[in-house]
Structures are given as C-alpha cells and as structure tokens.
Amino acid sequence: MNDRIPKQEIEKWLNKINNKLENIEPKNEKGKEFLENINAYVYDCKHFLKKEDYMRSFEAVIWAWAWLEIGEKLGFF
C-alpha cells in the first residue's frame, strides 16, 4: 500500500527521532512509561514502512514525536 507520503520524508523523521532517543533518559516512572510508548510507535513506524504503508508509518513517527515533546515539556526526561 503506497500513499502520498514520500518514503524519504518518513525516513528523515525516523532518523531524527532515533538520534534524539540516544540522549533521552527517563527521570521517573512516568518517563519510563512515555519512553516505552515512544519506542512502540517507532517500532510501528518501521513495521509499516517495511510493508510500504507510508501513511500509517508516518502517523506512527508523528505520534512518537508527540509523546517525546510532551514528555520533555512535563519534565519526564
């Protein structure tokens, strides 16, 4: 299933979040929970990318970023 989202765009955001996650450390239990969810969305992104389901892959990486940014703003990392 190919969508209108370019594969290169997904790969760009996936690489960015993977690089950012290398420097993220949870500060508390809530941070650990957030990090688990972020990693699950990154996993989903890769799964859908392999299946060429670019829309779902892009949605997953966007959700991962949302969880990351919210966790940062709440001081969980």
Q: What is the pLDDT of residue 4?
A: 82
Is the residue at 58 inside a domain? yes
Is the residue at 8 inside a domain? no
Is the residue at 22 inside a domain? no
Is the residue at 52 inside a domain? yes
Which residues span the domain enclosing 40? 27-77
Is the residue at 75 inside a domain? yes
Average pLDDT over the chain reads 95
Q: Give whole-number Cα distances, 62 to 6, 45, 76, in Å.
A: 14, 9, 19
**pLDDT reading at 3 higher than 80:** no
- Pinpoint the alpha helices (H) of the chain: 7-21, 29-50, 54-73
**pLDDT reading at 63 higher than 90:** yes
Tokens at residue 28, please? 């508390």
How many other C-beta atoms lie within 10 A of the C-beta of residue 28? 12
Could you give the number of structural domains in the chain?
1
Is the residue at 21 inside a domain? no
**pLDDT reading at 35 higher than 60:** yes
Domain CATH for 36: 1.20.1270.90
Could you read off the pLDDT of 4-27 as tens digits, one per residue?
889 999 999 999 999 999 999 999
